[in-house]
Amino acid sequence: MLFIVREQRDKTTCPNLLVLSKGCENIGFMSPATIKNHYEAIIVGAGAAGMSAALSLSRSLKKDNREGGESPSILVISKLQPLRSHTGSAEGGIAASLGNEEQDDWHWHYYDTIKGGDWLADQDAVEVLAREAKKTVTRLEHEGVAFSRREDGRIAQRKFGGHTSEFGGKPVKRAAYAADRIGHQILHSLWQQCVQMGVTFAEEWYVTDLVLDKSKTANKKAKTENASAEDDAAGTTPAQPWATACGLVVLDTHTGQTRAISSDTIMLCTGGAGRLFHTTSNSWDLTGDGMALALKAGLQLEDIEFIQFHPTGLGHTGFLLSEASRAEGGILRNSEGRAFMRDYAPEHGDLAARDVVSRSIMAEIDAGRGVADPRDPDGPRDCVWLDMRGVGEDRMKSLLPQVYETICKYANLNPAVDLIPVKPTAHYTMGGIPITTRGQVYRWVDGQRRSVEGLYAAGECSCVSVHGANRLGGNSLLDACLFGTRAGEAMARRITAIASSHQEDQSLGMEAASNHAPDDRSARNENLMNQALSKRQSAMDHMLSSSEPEDRNEDSPDVESSDDINAYLLMQELGRIMEKAVAVRCDQTSIDKALSQINHLHNKALTLKSHSTEAALNQELTAMMEVDNLLTLSKAVLAASGDRKESRGALFRQDHPERDDVHFLSHSMVDCDGNIDWQPVHIVDMPPQGRQY
């Protein structure tokens, strides 16, 4: 069937979208040999954000290509086969004020998101999120997402933490769901639509470098070609460009070859960085690659110190037990059997915002009221109980099948009769690559947003600043699908504008063109790409070179053999360091200690050598680059955490326990060297208030 779809695609006028992901030979869409050295656009990542962007981009360009001319070439590079993307792990729901179960209003959603983010979210961006949520869910329904239904046929909705009616009143049913597998439904539906549109998926290619041109000539040229003016009315359009996108260096993991692929329009949709921590709900591949690419290219990350810990990870596995388990009646209890959340959140209890619930759990554990995992009864008492016995087994199997199966399979417990051990697990990165509401990446320079022309981002790797210091449940899928779509539309406008500009240049004729100084941009880009490719190849050659015994002093206690360390062990050690330093709570001592330890780890990482000298199908080689990305990102997280001397949302500093709006109602902007700048929060009509649940 896949080959038939490809044949149909070739007969249409829709753009020839190419999505690179791991394992393409096995599905027959294309051979790596057909990959070109230049594309009009490249999307990196094939989760909800990447595939939403691919669909939006292809549909927009198809509309613009009514004349039947040559379709722009578009490449989407994914680290995984798209149906393995972490979007598929989202369980509880996608937030939208549909009002199907009870009265709701997008203004209430707007307020809840700002309050949930502890007033650090940009309110103009949150307005877009809340206002466009209903349209986004309706579009997903039309794409084929099989939402759970009410008896009258409308989409069913459930309560989720922090979502209320009447601007902070009683909890409201706002999360549209598909049992507890909404991410799975969205991912498969978007995939099917991409196949129908002719999006070609090639798999298991790994992006190693993002190449930017920071020369003034390139930036001046790019400014004239940027046709996106959607943010002008809101006053958020970045000022004079800071750099221009050139292309990417990528590793074909099947052949072991590195390639330089140039493009005027690039989008990063690479997901989060849960692997920074030992206990995480994130899949194995979420190693912060896109964020690290941006840092290494000279860009900044915004609000990267805010990392959400989901309150209910299955004890000592990190596996997520959806917030829906509490929305359907689950209750958190301490070792005394007491439902403790009303002590910390009198009105909302177990459905308070996630950062509040996670801190409450840790407070109970610190007070000696934690419980041990039943699988290790003599182990640490670092969990609390999740009591789902009141939900009922039949209701669980109907509305929470994934939660039920996860508990039965991995804890060997029956949630209908047993108490379940849970503890906070690293779940979501609120910060990331700074973008506008149209996905345009920028750098904060001298109090201005300076755009990176041709570079876009969306999803968890980005920060459009709708989540602030803490994300509400149900808003992540909405963020990815909505802003992925908007960025795809902006990319289409840019591609169309560049094509029109080239046509105008050609219409000048040879005589007129000869009166203009030659544009050396292409030559400069080619030079930059070749330099990046050569540097990456040298680094890979070093990692693949055998480590000779005579190069090491076996008697030195300070030097470890390359056989003693590997990328996987370093990831484990990094996860334990970060968990002790900044998981749920931190202070300056824990941050400074972690920075020292991570510097030591980075020195170890520089000595890593692959146990195989072959680059093809060498997972260890990829892991070595992933651990380098994680180490780069961890330093940025710690630097930003150290500079923000207050507690806000997911960041709780025990040495600065209060929120400080006077000095820190601003976004941290951190670069690869740990330099911090501050960008004011966009306050529109919701001035900061107290935050009680």
**What are the tens digits of pLDDT across the range 123-147?**
999 999 999 999 999 999 999 999 9
**Strands 666-670 and 462-463, bridge-based pairing:** unpaired
Containing 344, the helix (H) or strand (E) segment is helix 341-344
Q: What does the block give as tokens for 480?
A: 């990815």
In a domain, 124, yes or no: no
Q: Which of 288, 118, 110, 112 is nearest to 651 (CA)?
A: 118
Number of domains in the chain: 2
Mean pLDDT for the stretch of residues 385-389: 98
In a domain, 130, yes or no: no
Containing 296, the helix (H) or strand (E) segment is helix 289-296
In a domain, 594, yes or no: yes
Query: Which of 413, 429, 445 delimits the end of a domain?
Result: 429
With pLDDT > 90 as the criterion, what percentage of the chain qualifies? 80
Amino acid at 486: R
The DSSP secondary-structure symbol of 156 reads: P
- Cα gap 253→77, rounded to integer Å: 12
Q: Are 528 and 599 in contact (CB under 8 A)?
A: no
The pLDDT tens digits of the residues spanning 158-170 come to: 999 999 999 999 9
Q: What is the DSSP string of 511-541?
A: HHHHTS----HHHHHHHHHHHHHHHHHHHHH
Q: Which of 618, 9, 626, 683 is nearest to 271 (CA)?
A: 626
In a 13 Å sphere around the CA of 33, the CA atoms on its Cβ side amount to: 3
Domain that holds residue 579: 567-680
Least confident segment among 202-211, 301-310, 337-346, 639-648: 202-211
374-386 per-residue burial string, b: 16 or more CB within 10 A, e: under 16: beeeeeeebbbbb
Mean pLDDT for the stretch of residues 230-257: 81
Can you give the pLDDT at residue 222? 52
In a domain, 154, yes or no: no
Can you give the pLDDT at residue 507? 66
CATH number at residue 598: 1.20.58.100
Phi, psi of 595 (to 5 degrees): -60, -40
Query: Which of 380, 408, 429 delimits the end of a domain?
Result: 429
Least confident segment among 38-47, 234-243, 374-383: 234-243
Mean pLDDT score across all residues of the chain: 89
- Cα gap 177→95, rounded to integer Å: 9
Q: What is the DSSP string of 47-75?
A: SHHHHHHHHHHHHHHHHHTTT--PPPEEE
Q: Which residue has the higher pLDDT, 580 or 558?
A: 580
Please give the model's pTM, rounded to 2 decimal places.
0.92
Q: Is the pLDDT of residue 314 over 80?
A: yes
Amino acid at 636: A
Q: Are 317 and 86 in contact (CB under 8 A)?
A: no
With pLDDT > 70 as the criterion, what percentage of the chain qualifies? 87
**Active-site residue, selected from the candidate residues 181, 354, 449, 585:** 354
Can you give the pLDDT at residue 233? 47
Least confident segment among 28-32, 91-95, 104-108, 174-178: 28-32
CATH number at residue 387: 3.90.700.10
In a domain, 69, yes or no: no
Mean pLDDT for the stretch of residues 655-672: 98
Query: Alpha helices, DSSP H only, in 367-437?
Result: 393-399, 401-410
Can you give the pLDDT at residue 526? 93
User: Edge-to-edge strand order for the sheet containing 307-314?
Assistant: 307-314, 420-429, 384-387, 331-333
354 is catalytic: yes
- Cα gap 131→133, rounded to integer Å: 6
Beta bridge partners of 456: 267, 440
In a domain, 644, yes or no: yes
Can you give the pLDDT at residue 36? 85
SS3 string, 188-220, reads HHHHHHHHHHCCEEECCEEEEEEEEECCHHHHH
Residue with tokens 């290619």: 205
Mean pLDDT for the stretch of residues 588-598: 98
Q: Which residue has the higher pLDDT, 73 or 474?
A: 474
Can you give the pLDDT at residue 26? 39
In a domain, 373, yes or no: yes
Q: Are 469 and 650 in contact (CB under 8 A)?
A: yes
Q: Which residue has the higher pLDDT, 230 or 578?
A: 578
- Cα gap 558→477, rounded to integer Å: 47
Q: Are 185 and 178 in contact (CB under 8 A)?
A: yes
Phi, psi of 482 (to 5 degrees): -70, -55
Query: Which of 429, 464, 479 delimits the end of a domain?
Result: 429
Q: Is the pLDDT of residue 220 over 90?
A: no
The pLDDT tens digits of the residues spanning 173-199 come to: 999 999 999 999 999 999 999 888 887
- Cα gap 91→89, rounded to integer Å: 6
Q: Which residue has the higher pLDDT, 203 or 415?
A: 415
- Cα gap 175→154, rounded to integer Å: 13
In a domain, 201, yes or no: no
- Cα gap 169→94, rounded to integer Å: 20
